Amino acid sequence: MSFNTSPSNAAEYAWEKDDVFGRIASRYDLLCDMFSCGIHRLWKRRVAQRIASEPWNTLIDGATGTGDIILRLLPILSAQGRTMIAADISPKMLAIAERRLDRFAETVKLCQLDAENMSSIADNSVDAYSLSLVLKICDRQRVLREALRILKPGGRLIVLEASNIRIGLLHRAYLRYMSICMPALGWLATGGDASAYRYLLQGIRDFPTAEALATEMTQLGFTEVAFERLSLGIVAIHSARKPAA
């Protein structure tokens, strides 16, 4: 088996080789709180609001992890007549999402899917597709091509991902802070699993700027590509549409 080391895989991570997110699934939410000082909750709430503002009947939340986005989405929209699929490659992550979403079992389906190759999802079959904090640890070109394939013409893609602070000095200071704090916090939270924070740190450091990611989306064929920086640009919400024709 060959593992993906594409230049578009910022973290040079391959889940087949190192199932680190399966190993840390029970501590993943704690890691998110520690690395972001809890601010990720605000980011995800904003993403849920953006998804809810779009007209759609079928949504896939790819790389759903423990189901955070779906949990924030359900209280702010009417689920009647809608199909929501919470998908992830990790069975252990999905198991946690299933427990958290158990009371919404009639509304939300869970599905094990690889965002880089969703062969079980038909072409032009999904109205909206959301991704959060996953492009930096996968081959984003493959993931975005799959998104373009499964979306219906006119369908909407919404992505929350690491970005860049436009003030260079602040961005370098942020990366320095992360390079010091992430290993220490990651080691404590995962019981010494070094790979957990190594992939995340590399993915943040080597991920393209918001402008560069928007250009990649456009070059792949998306239209109406836009982004909104949050927390000075630590992350950004990207939105794009599959051409209607």
Q: So where are the chain's domains? A: 20-241
Read off the tokens for 106. 């009639």
In angstroms, rounded to a whole number, what is the distance separating the alpha carbons of residues 186 and 179? 11
- Measured distance CA(215)–CA(225) in Å, rounded: 8
Are 244 and 127 spatial neighbours (Cβ–Cβ below 8 Å)?
no
Q: Which fold has domain 20-241?
A: Rossmann fold (3.40.50)
- The pLDDT assigned to 29 comes to 86
pTM: 0.91
Q: Tens digits of per-residue pLDDT, 176-207?
A: 888 887 777 767 666 666 666 777 778 888 89
pLDDT of residue 80: 73
User: Which residues on adjacent β-strands are paired with residue 151?
Assistant: 126
What is the SS3 assignment for 224?
Answer: strand
Least Cα distance to 123 among 164, 155, 161, 81 occurs for 155
The pLDDT, as a whole number, for residue 227 is: 98
What sections of 103-139 are H helices per DSSP?
Answer: none
CA distance 23 to 161: 22
> pLDDT, tens digit, for every residue of 109-137?
999 999 999 999 999 999 999 999 999 98
Would you tell me how many other CB atoms lie within 10 Å of the CB of residue 190? 20
Residue 241 clears pLDDT 70, i.e. is over it: yes
